[in-house]
Structure 1
Amino acid sequence: MSQVPLHIATDFPAPSVDDWRRLVDKDLKGKPFTSLQSSLEGGLSLRPLYTPEDAASTPPPEPPGVAPYVRGTHPLGLTEGGWLVCQEYSEPDVALASEAIRVDLERGALGVWLCLGESRGIRVADPASLERLLAHVPLDRTPVFLEPEAKPLSFAHLLLGAAQKARVPREKLRGCLGLDPLGALARTNALAATPGVEWDAEAVSLVQSLRQEAPGLRALLVSTRPYADAGATSVHELAWAIATGVEYLRTLERAGVPPEDAARSLQFALSVGGQFFPEIARLRAARLLWSKVVAASGGSPDAQAMALHARTASATKTQRDPWVNILRATAESFAAVVGGANSVSTSPFDEALGTPDAGARRLARNTQLILRDESSLNRVADPAGGSYYLEQLTGEFARAAWAELRRIEALGGMARALATGEVERVLAETRAARDKAVRTRRLPIVGVSEFPHLGETPVRREARPSVPGNPSPRPTRVAETFEALRDASDRYLLSHGVRPRAFMANLGTVAEHTTRSTWIVNALAVGGIEAQEHHGFADAAAAAELFASSGAALAVISGPDALYPDQVPALCAALKARGARVVAVAGRPGDHEAAFRAAGVELFIYAGADLVALLSSLHQQLGVA
């Protein structure tokens, strides 16, 4: 064996980007290099490779704890104790919400975020009910954040009164009182008659007094929940958060509150979606943009630090195969932590099914504890720092959001954009674009539009007492259109004893048809249609005989394209003769579409098609819907 040392760093030449690009172009075989790029919402895209040259155009970010706070608002990042595990609560019943808070605080949570209101939130009506809600919350060491649907000043005074009754000095209070008029008006769409935001004297006085008496308790909230739940892209959500903050700074300054105090009174809350690395970059960009805004307003470097709460997105969660939500929430929480959020809330996996139960809350709480105590995510300050990819993406998010912020400002500000319907117009466009991506499965949903499980067992949930009141406004979840198809299949199963069935008429050998037929079986299952596989047959008559005994009304011809011209017309005629109500063909028909349709083929199922439309059509023809 040779004893000559191998010096990898010097014995092998370092490849250049041009060397890599030549190899890639060769492998692409004529396809454009842009085919390797991935599109993101908001007009951004991801390249396949990032290099030091990408970072050379911009100066390196300041260290953590230094404005503009791209790398975090604390010098040591989250290493001194981790982020604040701050779970959110919207259980309408005060007693049940109080018990959930008690359990969470005893078992690892460090803060509480209270969603208050009649239609979506905890029903707190008076000082006594708030005291019951906070019975197990030591206010002198537990941050409490309020997010009320309406009447924020009333809830703010209730919390301050509860602290006074518990003899907790105001200087020990931490959290946020939740004054967010634009957020409240966005939820209720009530800005048409109130196109501006004005703080009354009581609100201004509260902001000023808290800066002196309770510096750890912020009065104002900028929550993007109404926009994230309505289908905003990541760029729009970020831009509108900053635009709302600008509106509050400007309005308070007119009321006599200097930007320095107003900025220190603001708490931001953003939703974190399923795009892991882009979400990390977006949170870093949020701190950068807010620092720039406060600096331009005259605020000091300390006032430029954003107080940022990150919640896992409701829109990404599913009712079908909800166990996958555990993975979604874990990835979203991971992104929130790596992105440097000061506090994080992980949603229970069953939130899309209704009020979460104790088991789901335990899993949500433990997700953050495992990320902190077992994965040690708090041991590194700004783990995303220095990545060419993430640093470049952070800048791109910041520039895209800043362009949208300037557009909103040109319209007259965020309040004006809401009042004129501009925000709703953009949301309608983004929802339509996202829905198209979902329907064509360019935006796949595991367990729903990809790898559905028709035999899944419904989640067992605790029996809960019903609470009368208005129905809660629901977030726009990306999975809803496909879940509606599965719901229709379930109703069919209850009334007929079987699910709608499809007979797979597979052509050629197993090796020839299995890839396409497997894809078709999964595509049909997305709509709750149960496929019966048949791996070859002697001729069209034999296939039709098998179909007649299957009990199915739908037949799907699947196989290699080369066999289609000769076999599809005869096979379709045979299947129709033996009672097939619908005959579909797997794959694009190409030049043979007219001939196949003339033979009786109704549908073509292929990748990239609007699968919701195809499955809805099948439901109609099979009597499912």
Structure 2
Amino acid sequence: MSQVPPPSAKDFPPPSTDAWRRLVEKDLKGKPFSSLQSSLEGGLSLQPLYTSQEAPTPAEPPGVVPYVRGTQPLGHTEGGWTVCQEYAGPDVASTAEALRTDLERGAQGVWLLLDAPHGVDVKDAAALKQVLAHVPLETTPVHLEPARDVLAPAALLLQVADAKRVARSSLKGSLGVDPIGAMARAGAAKVDVAGTLAKAAPMVTSLLKEAPGLRVLLVSSRAWADAGATPVQELAWAIATGVEYLRELERAGVAPGDAARSVQFALSVGGQFFPEIARLRAARLLWSKVVAASGGAPEAQAMSLHARTASGTKTKRDPWVNILRATAESFAAVVAGADSVSTAPFDEALGAPDEQGRRLARNTQLILRDESSLNRVADPAGGSYFLEQLTQELARAAWTELQRIESLGGMTRALVQGDVARVLTEAVAARDKAVRSRRLPIVGVSEFPHLTEAPVQREPHSTPAPVVPEGGFAPLHPVRLSEAFESLRDASDRFLGRSGARPRAFMVSLGTLAEHTVRSTWVTNALAVGGIETVEQRDFANASLAADAFASTGTPLAVISGPDTLYPEQVPALAQALKAKGARTVVVAGRPGDSEAAFRAAGVDLFISAGADLFQLLKTLHQHLGVA
């Protein structure tokens, strides 16, 4: 055996980024390097490689200003994050029972959405006491998030604690005073943000001494996130809201540092795993900078951060996939260092979640903690060149948007003047375009739909028509990514109920199985997105026989699918034969290229291909098929 030691890493010259890029560009064979980049909302992009050369200066350790890596020196390793579930059912008794069950089986905190019909119907201290009947206030954080009157519930919680003889010094949670959030949800331009905060100022001052674990103010991004804000917008507007609260409380006599220690943040976590981790880290960085600029001490700069799984990413169709979505979103929140996390039940988009939905949601976090051991690492994201750089990029983009809001006069004025609604309309339109073309795919809805899925039935949410106050603006309207395609599936279900069968398409597959199977399978799934079943014909001797088979199905829709090489020869004759047998609409799968004019002259009406507006095509096919 040779006695010469093997070469070590130090014997090889370190590869340079330029050398790597040259090799990559060679393998791309003419494609631009930018084809390896992924675009993010807000003008950001993900690079194919991140190295120490481009990475920012390493962030301070966890527990050190500016708290990018978390507000605790040991992260979640000292007890873990708080499993804090949200409750929104209007019925007081059922909410109290759900609380009891969840706290007995692993939940550690309570987040109450208040004001019926969208939240728990708590009108007085007696009702709140009933809701919290099984909640040990001495050990359980309780957070309130009222939709309308943001001051009254705060006083009610203190009354309940006093009635239970619970020392205020042991209380933990937040009281939910969030007038800007209430304004966004209610659409009332006459909400007196400054007056509300002035009334809350004495409570802030007193509770900092009596109940230091109880935060009076809430900055909830729920209204923006549910209405379709981009991650950058949601982050910037949350910080802008916090800035306005600090400013107004200072006018009411509360020092910015004291006010900051009384603010609870609550952000939504969407479906882009790594960018969402970076965004929550950026939130702590930005808030630290804001409080520092306001004169707050280092301990006042630590953000108290609650993260919730996003509502807009959840679907009504194939809702079981929501379990995976919520798991990824909860995972991201924990890795990002959120202090508490709420995992929404998989059936929340359908209506009031049942016990199974709450159990699966609760157990999602318990598995992440107890089986995946996410509470054993202080900062799982720390040191990643990718995440460290993306954190800085998101922070800079959000800071730019924050400056724009400040130039308008702050978050309240941006809302009242309609700027927020305008920006949201643009953001939703851009995202909807990506969804409709399936550049932003939704599993179970726009990708891999399950036409024969058993429906999941839930008591639907009450959704009264929004009322625009006199002199006010319309409340921000919640949207979900899947709504457009789900409307097509709903129409297909109604057609099934009327006729006893789903709308159908007859598909003629050209060539051998190996030649057409990929495209034909793609077409079958694309049509199923709109609730259209496919009847396939292949291995036919001639166009006439294929047309005869089409006529026997009784559908007016025919689709031709196969390899591009066979199209110029076979599509014209086949389209003519299908039209002669009564086809009202003939669709060709793929891009026609130079043959488009010839195909249309032969009777082809539409083309279906990847990257096109699938929603509009399916909507057109519904009209041709008589689907309302």
Q: TM-score range by the shorter chain?
A: over 0.9
> Residue in 1 aligned with 2:156?
158
RMSD: 1.7
Tell me the CA shift for residue 510 of structure 1.
1.2
In the alignment, the residues of structure 1 paired with residue 502 and residue 379 of structure 2 have an alpha-carbon distance, to the nearest angstrom, of 51
Residue 527 in structure 1 maps to residue 524 in structure 2: no
> Residue in 2 aligned with 1:141?
139
> Residue in 1 aligned with 2:517?
514
In the alignment, the residues of structure 1 paired with residue 203 and residue 276 of structure 2 have an alpha-carbon distance, to the nearest angstrom, of 34
Residue 570 in structure 1 maps to residue 568 in structure 2: no
Residue 612 in structure 1 maps to residue 615 in structure 2: yes
Q: Which of the residues 328, 333, 337 maps onto 1:331?
A: 328
> Residue in 2 aligned with 1:115?
113
Tell me the CA shift for residue 513 of structure 1.
1.1
State the AA in 1 paired with 2:170. K
In the alignment, the residues of structure 2 paired with residue 602 and residue 8 of structure 1 have an alpha-carbon distance, to the nearest angstrom, of 65
In the alignment, the residues of structure 2 paired with residue 496 and residue 24 of structure 1 have an alpha-carbon distance, to the nearest angstrom, of 56
In the alignment, the residues of structure 1 paired with residue 197 and residue 294 of structure 2 have an alpha-carbon distance, to the nearest angstrom, of 22
Kindly indicate whether the alpha-carbon contact (under 8 Å) linking 2:352 and 2:461 is maintained by their aligned counterparts in 1.
Answer: no
Tell me the CA shift for residue 131 of structure 1.
0.9
Residue 291 in structure 1 maps to residue 263 in structure 2: no
Bigger drift between 563-572 and 471-480 goes to 471-480
Tell me the CA shift for residue 357 of structure 1.
0.3
Residue 557 in structure 1 maps to residue 560 in structure 2: yes
Tell me the CA shift for residue 553 of structure 1.
2.1
Kindly indicate whether the alpha-carbon contact (under 8 Å) linking 1:338 and 1:382 is maintained by their aligned counterparts in 2.
Answer: yes
Tell me the CA shift for residue 70 of structure 1.
0.1
Q: Within 5 Å, give how 1:390-539 maps onto structure 2.
A: 390-459=387-456, 461=458, 470=464, 475-539=478-542
Q: Within 5 Å, give how 1:185-224 maps onto structure 2.
A: 185-191=183-189, 193=190, 197-199=194-196, 201-224=198-221
Kindly indicate whether the alpha-carbon contact (under 8 Å) linking 2:331 and 2:368 is maintained by their aligned counterparts in 1.
Answer: yes
> Residue in 2 aligned with 1:265?
262
Q: Which of the residues 227, 250, 256 maps onto 1:253?
A: 250
Kindly indicate whether the alpha-carbon contact (under 8 Å) linking 2:434 and 2:440 is maintained by their aligned counterparts in 1.
Answer: yes
> Residue in 1 aligned with 2:27?
27
In the alignment, the residues of structure 2 paired with residue 396 and residue 73 of structure 1 have an alpha-carbon distance, to the nearest angstrom, of 21
In the alignment, the residues of structure 2 paired with residue 278 and residue 265 of structure 1 have an alpha-carbon distance, to the nearest angstrom, of 28
**C-alpha offsets along residues 126-181 of structure 1, whole Å, 9 cap, x if unaligned?**
22111110000000110000000111221111110000000001111000000000
State the AA in 2 paired with 1:102. R
Kindly indicate whether the alpha-carbon contact (under 8 Å) linking 2:41 and 2:230 is maintained by their aligned counterparts in 1.
Answer: yes
SS at match of 1:114: strand
> Residue in 1 aligned with 2:53?
53
Kindly indicate whether the alpha-carbon contact (under 8 Å) linking 1:502 and 1:532 is maintained by their aligned counterparts in 2.
Answer: yes
> Residue in 1 aligned with 2:169?
171
- Calculate the TM-score normalised by the size of structure 2: 0.96
> Residue in 1 aligned with 2:83?
85
Kindly indicate whether the alpha-carbon contact (under 8 Å) linking 2:437 and 2:612 is maintained by their aligned counterparts in 1.
Answer: yes
In the alignment, the residues of structure 1 paired with residue 462 and residue 20 of structure 2 have an alpha-carbon distance, to the nearest angstrom, of 64
Tell me the CA shift for residue 497 of structure 1.
1.1
Bigger drift between 583-592 and 292-301 goes to 583-592
> Residue in 2 aligned with 1:589?
592
SS at match of 2:341: strand
Bigger drift between 285-294 and 597-606 goes to 597-606
Tell me the CA shift for residue 467 of structure 1.
9.4
Tell me the CA shift for residue 471 of structure 1.
6.8
Bigger drift between 384-393 and 150-159 goes to 150-159
Q: Which of the residues 241, 244, 254 maps onto 2:241?
A: 244
Counting aligned pairs with the same residue, the percent is 72
> Residue in 2 aligned with 1:580?
583
In the alignment, the residues of structure 2 paired with residue 480 and residue 250 of structure 1 have an alpha-carbon distance, to the nearest angstrom, of 39
Kindly indicate whether the alpha-carbon contact (under 8 Å) linking 2:279 and 2:391 is maintained by their aligned counterparts in 1.
Answer: yes
In the alignment, the residues of structure 2 paired with residue 488 and residue 154 of structure 1 have an alpha-carbon distance, to the nearest angstrom, of 44
In the alignment, the residues of structure 1 paired with residue 6 and residue 365 of structure 2 have an alpha-carbon distance, to the nearest angstrom, of 44
In the alignment, the residues of structure 1 paired with residue 606 and residue 580 of structure 2 have an alpha-carbon distance, to the nearest angstrom, of 18
State the AA in 2 paired with 1:26. K
Tell me the CA shift for residue 589 of structure 1.
1.4
Kindly indicate whether the alpha-carbon contact (under 8 Å) linking 1:119 and 1:471 is maintained by their aligned counterparts in 2.
Answer: no
Residue 601 in structure 1 maps to residue 599 in structure 2: no
In the alignment, the residues of structure 2 paired with residue 345 and residue 247 of structure 1 have an alpha-carbon distance, to the nearest angstrom, of 26
> Residue in 1 aligned with 2:471?
none
In the alignment, the residues of structure 1 paired with residue 549 and residue 175 of structure 2 have an alpha-carbon distance, to the nearest angstrom, of 68
Kindly indicate whether the alpha-carbon contact (under 8 Å) linking 2:197 and 2:245 is maintained by their aligned counterparts in 1.
Answer: no
Bigger drift between 339-348 and 467-476 goes to 467-476
Residue 349 in structure 1 maps to residue 352 in structure 2: no
Tell me the CA shift for residue 559 of structure 1.
1.1
Tell me the CA shift for residue 38 of structure 1.
0.3
State the AA in 1 paired with 2:162. Q
In the alignment, the residues of structure 2 paired with residue 393 and residue 469 of structure 1 have an alpha-carbon distance, to the nearest angstrom, of 38
Tell me the CA shift for residue 592 of structure 1.
1.7
Change (3 A) 1:467 1:225: closer
> Residue in 1 aligned with 2:626?
623
In the alignment, the residues of structure 1 paired with residue 349 and residue 461 of structure 2 have an alpha-carbon distance, to the nearest angstrom, of 18
State the AA in 2 paired with 1:497. G
Kindly indicate whether the alpha-carbon contact (under 8 Å) linking 1:199 and 1:252 is maintained by their aligned counterparts in 2.
Answer: no
State the AA in 1 paired with 2:530. G
In the alignment, the residues of structure 2 paired with residue 539 and residue 614 of structure 1 have an alpha-carbon distance, to the nearest angstrom, of 28
Tell me the CA shift for residue 532 of structure 1.
1.6
Kindly indicate whether the alpha-carbon contact (under 8 Å) linking 2:115 and 2:148 is maintained by their aligned counterparts in 1.
Answer: yes
> Residue in 2 aligned with 1:366?
363
SS at match of 1:53: coil
Tell me the CA shift for residue 440 of structure 1.
0.5
Kindly indicate whether the alpha-carbon contact (under 8 Å) linking 2:506 and 2:558 is maintained by their aligned counterparts in 1.
Answer: yes
SS at match of 2:116: coil
State the AA in 1 paired with 2:149. K
In the alignment, the residues of structure 2 paired with residue 572 and residue 200 of structure 1 have an alpha-carbon distance, to the nearest angstrom, of 69
Residue 69 in structure 1 maps to residue 59 in structure 2: no
> Residue in 2 aligned with 1:548?
551
**C-alpha offsets along residues 518-574 of structure 1, whole Å, 9 cap, x if unaligned?**
111110000000012223311101111211222332110111112212211110110
Residue 40 in structure 1 maps to residue 40 in structure 2: yes
**C-alpha offsets along residues 570-616 of structure 1, whole Å, 9 cap, x if unaligned?**
10110111121211000111222222112111110001110000000
State the AA in 2 paired with 1:255. A
State the AA in 1 paired with 2:325. R
Kindly indicate whether the alpha-carbon contact (under 8 Å) linking 1:587 and 1:604 is maintained by their aligned counterparts in 2.
Answer: yes
Bigger drift between 4-13 and 285-294 goes to 4-13
State the AA in 2 paired with 1:261. D
**C-alpha offsets along residues 23-66 of structure 1, whole Å, 9 cap, x if unaligned?**
210111111111110001111100000001011xx321100000
SS at match of 2:75: coil
In the alignment, the residues of structure 1 paired with residue 360 and residue 3 of structure 2 have an alpha-carbon distance, to the nearest angstrom, of 54
Kindly indicate whether the alpha-carbon contact (under 8 Å) linking 1:321 and 1:453 is maintained by their aligned counterparts in 2.
Answer: yes
State the AA in 2 paired with 1:32. P
Task: Point out where structure 2 has 5 or more consecutive residues left out of the alignment.
Answer: 467-475
Change (3 A) 1:407 1:88: same
Change (3 A) 1:169 1:435: same
**C-alpha offsets along residues 101-126 of structure 1, whole Å, 9 cap, x if unaligned?**
10010000100000001231001112
Kindly indicate whether the alpha-carbon contact (under 8 Å) linking 1:197 and 1:415 is maintained by their aligned counterparts in 2.
Answer: no
SS at match of 1:119: coil
Bigger drift between 17-26 and 366-375 goes to 17-26
Tell me the CA shift for residue 272 of structure 1.
0.1
In the alignment, the residues of structure 2 paired with residue 436 and residue 402 of structure 1 have an alpha-carbon distance, to the nearest angstrom, of 27
Change (3 A) 1:3 1:516: farther
State the AA in 2 paired with 1:128. A
